[in-house]
Each structure stands twice: as structure tokens, then as C-alpha cells.
Structure 1
Amino acid sequence: MTDSHAAHHPDPEPDPALAAPADRASLRDGVLFAFGTLTVFPARITRWDRPAARTGMQCAPLAGLAVGLCAAVPGVLLLLLGGGPLLAAAVALAVPAALTRGLHLDGLADTADGLGSAKPADDALRIMKQSDIGPFGVVALLVVLLIQAAALADIYAEGWQLGALATVVAAVTARLALTLASRSGVPAARPGGLGAAVAATVPAGRALALGALAAVLAGLAALPVGAPAAVQQAAAVLLALFAAEALLRRCVRRFGGVTGDVFGALAEVAATTTLVVLALG
């Protein structure tokens, strides 16, 4: 999710029914907002305002669930058809990139360039908005993708069930990191862009509750594999969110707040941490 994503989702045409938006948005509005901004799934955003952003960012894990399920299917099929774990992992990782137009990876690269520039916040933000990728961004992309592929391949080597579950949990946790980054108290780094549209929209208590719920559900999903796997799944979600939180705080100190690029970087860091923790079992 980057600021450039806003160009793909301009404000909807004026509609009498939407002329005076209510203080709350419906679940449907939130789901459409989440899928319309975080995926390429056909979802026409019906409202583009703060209430819709609030509900939409709380629905972000649902978009992650859809992406994760779509990614797990080809990975499992390749493994069952005789493909190796690395091939299954590589294809499973390619699907989320395709379903997000690579915007999270682009955000990771831009954030790495901004953090590595050692320039004042305004100059760093200007570097992040440029279309090219600098050396810090290239290195960040290579390292993260290599780690993700190696970790997921190790998990697939233990069985297709664990590989599929890890793929889904990583995708959900990546979007959950965006929910937490949209909580109240986290400012936007600049007035424009999609980052500013969703910044500080989600009540902090609700964001934390969603994080705890996701950890519990991940553990329950792994119970058929065994209690140790269930504990590891829950721990992977929590540790991934802690890693994303550390990056979030660094970016807020460095840039003065969040941007769409920062959201993309948070998603990739959360997904990577999830896979690494699950690969250690």
C-alpha cells in the first residue's frame, strides 16, 4: 500500500446518498474500502472518507485472508503434483505481489531509501516519492524476498498443510500490521496520499483487540496439527506485530508520521517475521 495507490482509487463521483456521510460507515463500505485499496480484486469503493477508512482498515485482515488463500492454493497444488518446496514457496509468494500490484514491495523499497538517506524528514519523504529505487531499496527487496522464500520453503518441506497455513497467516498478519499502524495517536507524515487518509482512524483499543484475536485464531487454526504448532502460530503473529511496531516507531521518529510507503514496508516486515518464526519450528 503506497501513496501512489490513491491514484488507482480516486474519490468517487458525487452521489446524493453520499453527500453527507454519517459518522459511521457500514461493514460493506469498510470491506469495499479494504479490498479496493489493498488488493486488485474488483471492489468499487463506495465511500472515501474517514469513517469508511476507519472501518476499512479494521477489515484489512479480511483482505489479507483472501490474498493468503489465493496464494496457498497454487503452492499446495505444485507440492502435491511433485514440485519442490522452493518452487511452491516462490509461486505462493508471487501471488500476493500480483494481487497488490507489487505496491507493498514498492513501499518497502521506498521506505528503505528514505530511512537510509540520512537526510532531513522533508528530503527523505521527497526521495520516497520518486519513481526510481535507490541502493537501499534494492538491497531491502532482495533480502526480504530471499528470507521469505527460504523460510516458506522450509515450512512447505514439513508438509503442505503447514505451508498453506503459514501462507495464509503471513498474509493476514501483514494486513493486520496496517490496522495497528492506522490506530489513533499515529500521525500522517504529510497531508496528501492514502497514508494520510487512513492515519489515526482506528481506535487504539480496537486495533490491539484485533491483534490479540488474530493470534488466538491463528493458534486455533493450527490445533489439528498439534498444540506446539498452535502455540507457534500465535507467537508468530504476535512477534510479527512487534517487529512491525518497531519499524513503525522508527518511521514516525524519522519522517514525522506514516505514509502509504511506510504501510507497505510494515506489511512486508510483518509477513517476513511471521514466516521466519514459523520456519524455526
Structure 2
Amino acid sequence: MGRVSQGTRGAIAFMTLLPLGGSLNAVSLVVIPLTGLIVGSVAFVGFWLGDRSGSALVGAVVALIVDAALTRGLHYDAVADTADGLAGFVTRERRLAIMDEPTVGAFAVVALVVVVLVRVAAWSSITFPAFVIGFFVLSRALMALAMMWFPLAKESSMAQVFASQRRRWIIWALIAEALIAIVVTALLATSLVAIAIVFGAGCGFGVLALAVRRLGGITGDVVGAVGLVAESGMLLATAVMRVHG
């Protein structure tokens, strides 16, 4: 029980700013998707409070701020670093070095602007229905599965902490969590939400494929970028379907 408690608190503390302590272990990987419930629910409340002003756009901006604050901006920073590292025509070693640098390049700025605009526009359009919380869970399930399935691009990466815990039961547990999230999300919305989920997952796998091709594997930044890109893709697809009936 102690190991379970440590792993649970460690996952929540790592994925959010909640100071719960704990340590990262195999249990942490299984808990990672569940942290999406926390972040998604708080962002939902943030949108609701902002929407009380009479503007869905204000609600979307508040939800974005809450999302970024609660996750300490980790995933947004990961998108920036990954964009700088995967873009351009340089060697693999140089790409990894760029991702470790504290500076921000043009590709990072463009990627962040696109992600922020997509999320704000989508939330403004669909007004953050409760089923969107499922997207937060699914994006984190994809992040955890990526650390189970894909090789590491370098040893000194946060992803290595989790990859060292690779167990078959963890993969099955993550898949089960993802399936439950898909079913619940579809029940709260419509079966068409499956299209949005597939599109978002495809966006995430696209980042993974590019990382494997150009880096030879994944890093902690790549994993974080995969989650945020997949989540944003699901939001975008949902907004497009909502607009076009």
C-alpha cells in the first residue's frame, strides 16, 4: 500500500503543481491518465467562472490559464522545445542539444501560438462541455503509453524514469483506462466524438513518428508535446464537427 500511495502522490505532484510529495514508480504510470481528471475538471470550473462574464471567449482564456498554471506550463514548454528540436535541417545531436537549451526559437513561438489559438478557439466554440474532460484523460493515457512503447532518444531524459518501469500489466492497465475514458466520453457526448478522438490521437502519433525519425526515439519534451497536441487535436475536431452539425 505504501508503494501505491507513494506512486499515486508522485504522479499527481509531477503532473500538476499540487505539493503532494511521493515518488515516481510503476504505479505512477497508471495514475498519469487519472491526473487528467484533476486538470480537466479544474479547467472546466475555470471556463464556467469566466463564462459567467457573458463571453465564451473569456471562459476559454480562463480555462487556458488554469490549465497552464495547474500543470506548471510543462506541456506548453514541451511543445516549444519539441518544435525547435524537430524542425529545421540539423543533425540528430544538434536537435537534442537545441531541445535542452533554455532559449526559444521561431519554431517554438509558432507552435505555441498555434496550440493556444486552437484551444481558445475550440473552447469558445464548444463552450467546454463536460465530456471534454475525457480528452484530458486520453491525452495523458497516450503520453504514458508512448513511454511504454517507444525507444528513448537519450538516457538523461525524464521519460527514462518511467520507461525503466516498463511492465506488461501497466500497458494493459493504461489501455483499459483509455477505453473506459472513450466509452464515458462518448456516452456524455455522441458517438461522433470518436472521430475527434481518432483525429487527436493521430496528431499525437504524428509527433511521435517525427520524433522517432529525427531523434531516434522520444524524450520527456516529446512526450509532453504529444499529450498537448493530441488534446488540442481532439478539441479542434470537436469544434469543427459542432460548427458543421
Equivalent residue in structure 1 for 2:154, among 187, 190, 199: 190
Q: Which structure 1 residue ranges, 5 or more long, are not aligned?
A: 1-23, 157-162, 223-228
Question: Mapping of 1:147-162 within 5 angstroms?
Answer: 147-156=118-127
Q: CA deviation at 1:236?
A: 2.6
Deviates more, 1:203-212 or 1:122-131: 203-212
Aligned match of 1:74: 46
* Structure 1 position 270 matched with structure 2 position 227: no
Equivalent residue in structure 2 for 1:37, among 2, 14, 34: 14
Aligned match of 2:175: 208
Separation (CA, whole Å) in 2 of partners of 1:166 and 1:142: 25
* Structure 1 position 181 matched with structure 2 position 146: yes
Identity of aligned residues (%): 34
Aligned match of 2:4: 27
Equivalent residue in structure 2 for 1:259, among 219, 222, 239: 219
Task: String of CA shifts for 1:40-76, please: whole Å, max 9, x gaps.
Answer: 012212x34xxx1x32122111111101111111211
Q: CA deviation at 1:116?
A: 0.7
Separation (CA, whole Å) in 2 of partners of 1:26 and 1:254: 37
Q: TM (normalized to structure 2)?
A: 0.89
Q: Conserved in 2, the CA contact under 8 Å of 1:182 and 1:198?
A: yes
Relative to structure 1, the CA distance from residue 41 to residue 148 in structure 2 (aligned partners, 3 Å threshold; closer, same or farther) is same
Separation (CA, whole Å) in 2 of partners of 1:195 and 1:66: 22
Separation (CA, whole Å) in 2 of partners of 1:134 and 1:145: 17
1:230 alignment partner, SS class: coil
AA matched with 2:226: L
Aligned match of 1:218: 185
2:192 alignment partner, SS class: helix
Relative to structure 1, the CA distance from residue 153 to residue 211 in structure 2 (aligned partners, 3 Å threshold; closer, same or farther) is same
Relative to structure 1, the CA distance from residue 58 to residue 238 in structure 2 (aligned partners, 3 Å threshold; closer, same or farther) is farther
Task: String of CA shifts for 1:135-156, please: whole Å, max 9, x gaps.
Answer: 0000000011101111110001
1:231 alignment partner, SS class: coil
* Structure 1 position 138 matched with structure 2 position 109: yes
Task: String of CA shifts for 1:212-258, please: whole Å, max 9, x gaps.
Answer: 222112112x1xxxxxx321334433332232122112212211111
Q: CA deviation at 1:199?
A: 2.5
